[in-house]
Amino acid sequence: MTGLSLAGRGAVVTGGGRGIGAAVARALSAEGARVVVSARTKKEIEGVAAELRGRGAEAWALQCDVTDEASVARLGREARGALGHVEILINNAGDSASAPLRKIALRDWERMFAVNATGTFLCTREFAPEMAERRWGRIVNVASIVGLEGAKYVAHYSAAKHAVLGFTRSVALEFEGTGVTVNAVCPGYVDTPMTDRTLANIGARAGVPRAEALALVLGTSGQDRLTTAEEVAALVVELCREESGRTGEALLVSSGARAR
């Protein structure tokens, strides 16, 4: 025994090339998990996997587009080839967008659902059955505070994250008693490249510098500050621990913001 809580466990982190996913990959690896880091951009996932291997951990970079059924099936085969068994799945791949309702094109709506909701469904369907057969598994879906409540100008993103929560709760019930737990974490604004893009857009629209865009975002969200990716990762790891029996939960991690 190494004393690390996830020693030897095989984990897949989608969207692991940067932001929250990269922090989750680091945190799982620090607890002894063997980690597959997955996303579309090869250079980013290889960078994170190399960093983990550089610290003496086992890690692999496997490309996958979670919106594509065949790509997820290939990730399944390759991840099992690397890890033997996948025991932990972090459905983190996602994307956000903002626009007033009348400017949301059908393709924008479909893109939000494809990456946030369909990706979570496809990856869970790929890995959960084997976890149940082996009587242990941990699935954590990265949703959002706007999966718990509405917000202006993100109807498509918010609806897709609400879908992630409905999916989480339903699959948690379906797998009750199998040793597989399914939970969601719901971050507010997190300091990642995604939020950088959001702030750049707000700044450009309002004609203000980043600091003012940030103050605007924090003011409307009720957050004291941006949450760090490491804070989200710590909660994800908590839900993956051997002893964690929590399932079907949606946990807020939002630096002071409350879901209404």
Residue placing its CB nearer to ligand NDP in the complex, 5 or 226 = 226
Give the nearest distance from C-beta 144 to ligand NDP in angstroms: 4
Residue placing its CB nearer to ligand NDP in the complex, 5 or 240 = 240
Q: Using alpha carbons, select from 198, 16, 179 the residue that is nearest to residue 94.
A: 16
Non-local (6+) Cβ contacts of 206 within 8 A are: 212, 213, 216
Of 60, 121, 127, 157, the catalytic one is 157
Give the nearest distance from C-beta 98 to ligand NDP in angstroms: 12
Give the nearest distance from C-beta 191 to ligand NDP in angstroms: 8
Amino acid at 154: V
Burial class (CB in 10 A: 0-12, 13-18, 19+), 53: middle
Q: Which residues pair with 252 in a beta bridge?
A: 186
- Name the residue with tokens 């369907």: 125
Q: Using alpha carbons, select from 44, 40, 43 the residue that is nearest to residue 17.
A: 44
**Residue pair 20/233 in contact by the 8 Å Cβ criterion:** yes
Which residues of this chain interact with ligand NDP, rule CB under 6 A?
14-15, 17-21, 39-41, 44, 64-67, 92-96, 115, 142, 144, 187, 189-190, 192-195
Confirm whether 189 is a catalytic residue: no
Residue placing its CB nearer to ligand NDP in the complex, 83 or 148 = 148
Residue placing its CB nearer to ligand NDP in the complex, 5 or 154 = 154
Give the nearest distance from C-beta 146 to ligand NDP in angstroms: 7
Please identify every residue annotated as catalytic.
157
